[in-house]
Every structure is written in C-alpha cells, then in structure tokens.
Homo-oligomer: A and B are copies of this chain.
Amino acid sequence: MLRTHLAGSLRPEHAEQTVTLTGWVARRRDHGGVIFIDLRDASGVAQVVFRESDVAEQAHRLRAEYCVKVTGVVEERPEGNQNYEIPTGAIEVDARELEVLAESAPLPFQLDDQPGEEARLKYRYLDLRRPGPGHALRLRSKVNAAAREVLGGHEFVEVETPTLTRSTPEGARDFLVPARLHPGEFYALPQSPQLFKQLLMVSGVERYYQIARCYRDEDFRADRQPEFTQLDIEMSFVTQEDVVLLAEEILVALWRLVGHEITTPIPQMTYAEAMRRFGSDKPDLRFGLELVECKEFFAETTFRVFQAEYVGAVVMPGGASQPRRQLDAWQEWAKQRGAKGLAYVLVGEDGELTGPVAKNLTDAERAGLADHVGAKPGDCIFFAAGPTKPMRALLGAARGEIARKQDLIDPDAWAFVWVVDAPMFEPTADATESGDVALGHSAWTAVHHAFTSPKPESMDTFDTDPGSALAYAYDIVCNGNEIGGGSIRIHRKDIQERVFAVMGISHEEAQEKFGFLLDAFSYGAPPHGGIAFGWDRITSLLAGVDSIREVIAFPKSGGGVDPLTDAPAPITPQQRKESGIDAKPEPKGAARGGATSETEPSAN
C-alpha cells in the first residue's frame, strides 16, 4: 500500500509515530505560511499541518481535491485545539514529505454545496465524494451483507439466472437485445427472475436467492429506473408463514444496521381491511387518520351525492381553520386525481357544522356526524362518495396529504405491516389505467402475477367467480412503501392453465410463451413460494433518502439517459449491420446455427 495508516484511524496513541497517509485535500487553510489541510480518505479525515518551510512551500500549491500522499509524525494537538466533532480531532500530522499523486482541475461544484441533479449525475464520481452519497453506497454494501448472512444461515443457495432470455410480458415492456446469430430474433432482459426461480424449485434447489438485476422499459414516471435490483427468494415445501418468518428475519437484520429493532411478528392486515381503513394496499401506519365508512350513517340521507355505492370520510385535525383558498386547493387536488372534488364539512369550535355540504344534512345527521367520524371541534371532515374503489383511493391519498400538511408523521418512526389475502384478479381496465400492460385478452388480469396460487378456499371457484378469489400473496409495507411482495406459487399444470384461461390466455398462447414452465410442472414440481424485496427502495429508506437514485452508483436521469457516459448513443452502420436488427425473422423452429458439442475449454 502507498500508505501506512488510514486517516480516520489516527488517535492519540499513535503520537510520535511516523505515518504515511493518502487521500484528498478536503480543506486547505493558510495561517501565516503554515498550511493546514483536512486529508480525507475512505475512513475519515485527519488534519495535516505543513510547518517546516520546505514542505510548507510545496503545500502552497495544494488545491481542493488534489490527491496526495503525506508522510509525517502524529502529534497530540495542544489543549484547546482539539476538535471533538471528528474522531481524529485530538491529533494532527506534522508533515515531513508531500507527494501530489494527482492534481485536480477546479471543481464544477464544491463538495459541500448541494449541486443540481444533472451536475451530480454528470460528475457522479465527484458527487460520490460527498459524505451523503458516499455513505449511501457503503450502506448498500452492508445491506447486501446483512441479508446474505441471514440467508446463508438457512442454507440458501445463491444462483445467477440468465439476463439474456425470452420476452415474457409480466406487466411491463421488455428491453430487447438483437441476437446477431439469429438475425431478426431478440433476447429480452428479464423483468424479474420469476420463471427461472420457479424452474429452480422444480430442479430441487429448494432454497434459492439472488440479488438480481431486473429491467423494465417503462416510462420514467415517478422514481423509476430502467434497471433496478431485487433480493429474490424462493423456497420449496413452504407455507406463507415460512416465507413471512424468513422475510422478517431479514428485515430485522437490515433495520439493525440503522439501530432500529423491528418488533416481530410484524402485524398482518388483509387487503380488504387495508382498503377499508386506509384506502390503500400499502397503508402508511405511522399515523392514524383512518377512513370512516359512512354509508350506513347516511342510509336515510336525502342528499343525492351521498346516495352512492360508497360514502366515506377522513378527518383533518385542526382543518376547520383552513382559509378558503386552501379548501379550494383541495378541490383542485382531487380533480387532478380524476375526482369531481372533495366534499367537506368544517366542525366549528362550538361544534357547529359549516361548509357547503352541511346544509344538505338533516338535523339528526348533523348531530351525530362528528361523533361518527371521530371529529373534534376545529377539525375538517373530508368526504368521498361514489364507486367504492376510486373513492377509497381518493380518501387514502387525502389521508397521506393531511398527515404531511399537519406534520403528523414522526420522521423517526418505522411502521411495518404485511398486507395479505389480496384479490386474485382485477378487472383489466383497472390494471391498464394504472399503467401496467395487461397479459392476456380477458376482462380479468392478475393482481399479483399469473403464477400466484389461489388461496386454498378459492381453489375450486377462482375461475367461475374470479372477482371473489383470493390470492395466496403477501406484500410487506414500510411507512407506506411496498418494499417487498411474494406469494405461494402454482405448482400444478392444471391450475396454471385454469389461471391462464381466466386471463384470456389461450392454450396455444400459454404453450408458446410459458410451455417450458408448464412442461416443468409435469415432472413432480414441489409446492413452493417466495418473495422479492425492492432492494433500491429498502436501501433508500435505510439511508433516509427520498429517491432510489441516491442508492444507485450510476443512476439514469429521467429520460433513461446517463449524463456521465452519455448513454444511450447512436451505433455505427457496421454495428447495425452485424446486429441483424434489420433482418426479417426466420420462421421459428428452423435449423439453428452453432453446435452444442463440447469443445476445448478456454477461460472466459
């Protein structure tokens, strides 16, 4: 090594030792010809002082982010000069030799500034020298190690599955890769290792995991990346409870990295309850503000608006004092979500109900309303009335908005919940509205995915009554984020074919797309199930950052562009020609090029 010690490791017990440090000039100060620098390496920072004239002379040319090698003697700082904010603050290194390993041009931004997103990505190698981004990357490595330790303790086998594979739509668009040796044909990058991990169960692997790169060619709405990572797990001969137990053990290990002890078992809530009480399948349980069902309360109402399939309310504490302008803003907010508006009633300090809705209520309704919804004087009651699903979703969104506006969320809180017993199917229209590509050509599409088993109680009826069937699925939610989800899978060919049929996937189409899985199920497939954790999201929660981009070493910007390498880019005509993109596909089943016989091995 070019150094003898790590800068951040130096303590008073090193005093009088001659050490060699390497790192970067984080700060440089000149006190009357004596140069002080903060020398930073991966371990931390140490103060180096250039007192002797020769070396101080050389140190004059140092600038921010020069990469240097310094040899000097560790000295305890004089009483009063210690800096107790850094671990090395009781010492300094009296420099005797300085070597500039690499100079630095003036920086495009100062490392202690907050540069813009574009600059951060273009100069990501400088951005990562900043404490926050650098820490996030190191934390991610620890997250991997903690999960692997749990999995290793349970005899899990880490398996790499292919990434040049077959296009099998799973709710999003595939990235394609031209296959040069088969002009006009393409590989697809996997949206998840789902099919391969199920094949591994058929193989008798029994316990599989992989920190797997996945690919979805979606529009870059919200916080999405074209490539992302999941911790992918599959187990044979298990029930839901076994997967849940393992998942909780992993989560406990991860949150210990940030000093939080998750209480287990993590509570479970049915999908139906989550929708009823929180208007969301990923309820944020850090705060209350539960939705209140008002249908029965308004059973006799004469107010037309409330004569609906669903009437519900959510209370905004202290919301009665909102100025008119804010109440109007709520209407705008609701309209942006496709609703007509957001009805409200204000509860005066004297208990009097006001607002446009109040006058449509009967005296009895007015008398009982605050009690029914749990509103206190000074609160605002928001209502949604109409079809159940979108109205609950609207109130669920309002609930989150209220909590943020009224600062009801403890920033240090961690609230975990399992959401179980989701519906097996949903109407295709709902799925496509939410942006997913529906698989199949039916009125029904899978809520989880096509390989999820119905719950035992739905096994006989899921195809005759798809709307009532429950899936053997479980999602883990943290602070309102779905951080993982899994299911017990179908392991029988007949059931898989029935599920495909509900989704309008014909026998031929199923055979063409998933024939290999159906074939595999013919050879003694074990019962199995698993889970996948959203690794980027989990790491971003642990790192305390909002975007998954913060925990990805080299993320893409919004349009899928890497401002650093300037990918994607045009290709050369020769690349285009060789790739075979422009060829007309041969009919499938024609003779293939290439041999499969063993040939002389050579290192890859």
Contact = CB atoms under 8 A, between A and B. Distances in A.
B189 A239 contact: no
A447 interface: no
A354 interface: no
Interface stretch (A53-61, A360-368, A559-567): A559-567
Contacts of A523: 65, 104-105, 107, 123, 125-126
A22 B201 CA distance: 13
A215 interface: yes
Contact of A585 (B2, B168, B176, B570): B570
Given A22-B236, A483-B603, 20 more contacts: A102-B491, A102-B527, A117-B597, A124-B203, A128-B205, A137-B159, A138-B157, A159-B553, A160-B553, A164-B175, A177-B189, A186-B569, A187-B568, A196-B554, A223-B601, A228-B604, A482-B603, A546-B598, A558-B594, A559-B596
A77 to B, nearest CB: 25
Nearest to A201: B125
Contacts of A177: 175-177, 189, 568
Contacts of A141: 156-159
Interface stretch (A88-96, A409-417, A454-462, A533-541): A533-541
Interface stretch (A251-259, A340-348, A571-579): A571-579
Contacts of A220: 181, 594
Interface stretch (A306-314, A326-334, A420-428, A514-522): A514-522
Interface string A177-197: 111111011111100000110
A559 B557 CA distance: 36
Contact of A492 (B102, B483, B527, B593): B102
Contacts of A527: 2, 101-102
A242 B567 CA distance: 34
Nearest to A229: B160
Given A42-B205, A105-B522, A593 B559 contact: yes
A596 B184 CA distance: 34
A161 interface: yes
Closest 3 CB pairs of A and B: A559-B594, A179-B568, A128-B203
Given A176-B178, A524-B24, A524-B66, A596 B121 contact: yes
A571 B175 CA distance: 11
Interface stretch (A144-152, A267-275, A369-377, A383-391): A144-152
A569 B526 CA distance: 29
A103 interface: yes
Nearest to A67: B524
Given A222-B601, A524-B104, A585-B570, A575 B167 contact: yes
A567 to B, nearest CB: 4
A561 B124 contact: no
Contact of A42 (B206, B491, B554): B206
A544 interface: no
A325 interface: no
B516 A564 contact: yes
A456 to B, nearest CB: 13
A175 B221 CA distance: 27
Contacts of A32: none
A269 to B, nearest CB: 17
A186 B570 contact: yes
Interface in A542-559: 546-548, 552-554, 556-559
B164 A215 contact: yes
Q: How many copies of the shown chain assemble into the complex? A: 2
A204 interface: yes
A222 B602 contact: yes
Contacts of A222: 599-602
A321 interface: no
A489 interface: no
A226 to B, nearest CB: 6
Given A196-B554, A575-B167, A598-B117, A516 B67 contact: no
A392 interface: no
B102 A556 contact: no
A291 B102 CA distance: 45
A1 B239 contact: yes
Contacts of A588: 566, 569-570
Nearest to A228: B604
20 contacts: A2-B237, A102-B491, A104-B523, A125-B202, A126-B203, A128-B200, A134-B203, A137-B159, A137-B205, A141-B156, A164-B226, A167-B571, A176-B178, A182-B559, A187-B568, A228-B604, A516-B566, A537-B603, A546-B601, A569-B588
Contacts of A42: 155, 204-207
